Structure 1
């Protein structure tokens, strides 16, 4: 809601209503349908919307709001913006992030010094990101880049298209078997690929293999039945045992924490090289810091791996003079794999589910464990 002067209006609420404040980068009109559904289902909520506007990535979360806008909020829906500290929002008892993770606010006082429950939109990214992963794998395995370059030269040259290795029987290693990894597994299995999974903790029982997060209907692996094998651990020995399994496509889906920073580096590239004569193709859709970027460039240059598809880099944006841009067999996109026209709608669905659980006193979906980092 915007005042005549161009700034956010101070919410006007009945005393009996709780304030649900949305500070999001999309125009309010794009989310009006879901917002109206929430208003209808929760008449005790006064829903107020402020569009967070920024020109540069570095400006995200820096918008200054008058204290009157947020000081009486009970629930906050946000992508980047947070109040300055917990004492500024004494009635706040839920922050619903519209992002998959919270590492971008890990140093904020509300994250470090408060106990306000934080939840994420994990689960809304599976369909579009899994399509990006498979698209990049097919571009690589079908040698599409040289064919496209020949098209631009107007040359009918099919040599590059003869050395295709189709997906049937190839092994996909999903490092981080959350909602994104589960949808990658679903699509990969439909293509005839074998899937193995890696998680931080053991998944030895049917209950532990289930996905307890938000699931886009008709997607993912809700009961965890797709992987032919599960591996686990945060130590290098356990990780190397997983990487030894002749993985053709390694998909990095783990959150960035102190334990996973540079989780894939020189030693891991060596393990992959020794285990797979065809070469492993790596797709990273998590965070750039999961990979030691200097080691990745060397692995590409020395053909320790067959190639890489990166939607994330370290840093972001990637500087124009960074050697990663010219590394061989490397495809880079500017952190866009999670984009979809229905992103906000799906994220509001997660918010609505958590509003239900909050009202009923049930466990929240996608609640962040601050000690674990996700």
Structure 2
């Protein structure tokens, strides 16, 4: 349990987007370069944890750190090392739920309708392949903001949705919620599986040979979370054998996916280059998160997107 951070000047590193500074000021905060007086830090630097850790070591009085992404796996080591230092850490989790959920829906529809193969076709080849999302059994692995938004988008399709998460607390819009211990059970009933979970030691490689074997033949996979949650070799094998009916991937392992990789030409597979939420979409959303957490930093309300240092997200 962290104590409430002490208010003071907020630094933005690296400050290349004026809307972020404007968000701090709109919430009553003071934006200033990093100094001994700095108490809040909005980290927007493209570099990872090493550079951030060096800055925090030089300025130990910083009591609140806002991270730029919904997932914090790039900072996992730093967060473990600083778990007892009393800082408040917030991420962008939940901020980008709308565009990512929209992208997940697009991928699911495209794969179900055999779009990857049809786009590549060079001649008219009529067949009766293609399935509807209406009434489908959808399993969502992860119970955060993306899942909540995707459940809302799926309402008109009348799907039967199951959410798999750490606890079995009910999720609005889902027919049922189960814990990860029951993953294989619910995969056996899935038409569509959507991965939205955070990457942690528990979820790394969660979708491997056993998970794909549990899914009904022809089921499809959509991953808009992190590539390392899925074993790429097993995914390629499942697509090639026909066990998996298709895949829509905005994230891969490795990433970026090398030219010539088997996933580029795998049957009924779409790969988009981690663009479910582009800068045009995320900058105003992240600015809203910065403003909300600046207000909390100054004592007006609660922080949003607080990182659970024990869970790792």
TM-score with structure 1 length normalisation? 0.74
- 1:174 is displaced (CA, Å) by 0.7
- 1:186 is displaced (CA, Å) by 1.1
**Aligned position for 1:116:** 87
Alpha-carbon distance between aligned partners in 1 of 2:36 and 2:53, rounded to the nearest angstrom: 9
Q: Structure 1 residue 241 and structure 2 residue 180: aligned? A: no
Q: Structure 1 residue 22 and structure 2 residue 12: aligned? A: yes
Residue of structure 2 aligned with 1:138, choices 90, 94, 109: 109
- 1:39-118 aligned at under 5 Å gives the runs 39-42=25-28, 45-48=29-32, 69-80=34-45, 82-84=52-54, 86-108=56-78, 112-113=81-82, 114-118=85-89
Q: 2:12, 2:21 within 8 Å by CA — same for their partners in 1?
A: no
Q: 1:164 to 1:314 in 2, by over 3 A?
A: closer
- 1:102 is displaced (CA, Å) by 1.3
**Aligned position for 1:36:** 22
Q: 1:167, 1:191 within 8 Å by CA — same for their partners in 2?
A: yes
Q: Structure 1 residue 198 and structure 2 residue 164: aligned? A: yes
Following superposition, which runs of at least 4 residues in structure 1 exceed 4 angstroms of deviation? none
Gap runs ≥5 in structure 2: 1-6
Alpha-carbon distance between aligned partners in 2 of 1:302 and 1:37, rounded to the nearest angstrom: 51
The superposition leaves residues 79-123 of structure 1 with CA deviations (integer Å, 9 ceiling, x where unpaired) of: 345250533113211111121021111223x65134321101111
Q: Structure 1 residue 129 and structure 2 residue 100: aligned? A: yes
Alpha-carbon distance between aligned partners in 2 of 1:196 and 1:26, rounded to the nearest angstrom: 41
Q: Secondary structure at the match of 1:324?
A: helix
Coordinate RMSD, CA, aligned: 2.3
**Aligned position for 1:7:** none
Q: Secondary structure at the match of 1:312?
A: coil
The superposition leaves residues 129-186 of structure 1 with CA deviations (integer Å, 9 ceiling, x where unpaired) of: 1121111122222223344344xx4x5x3614x4332221111111001101111111
Gap runs ≥5 in structure 1: 1-16, 49-67, 204-208, 210-223
Q: 1:346 to 1:165 in 2, by over 3 A?
A: same
Q: 1:266 to 1:70 in 2, by over 3 A?
A: farther
Structure with bigger RCO (C-alpha 8 Å, 6+ apart): 2
**Aligned position for 1:304:** 243
Q: 1:24 to 1:304 in 2, by over 3 A?
A: farther
Q: Secondary structure at the match of 2:9?
A: strand
**Aligned position for 2:3:** none
Q: 2:117, 2:268 within 8 Å by CA — same for their partners in 1?
A: no
**Aligned position for 1:257:** 200
Equivalenced residues, count: 300
Q: Secondary structure at the match of 1:314?
A: coil
Residue of structure 1 aligned with 2:253, choices 310, 314, 320: 314
The superposition leaves residues 65-87 of structure 1 with CA deviations (integer Å, 9 ceiling, x where unpaired) of: xxx73443211111345250533
Q: 1:164 to 1:321 in 2, by over 3 A?
A: closer
Alpha-carbon distance between aligned partners in 2 of 1:40 and 1:169, rounded to the nearest angstrom: 45
User: Which structure is larger by alpha-carbon Rg, 1 or 2?
Assistant: 1
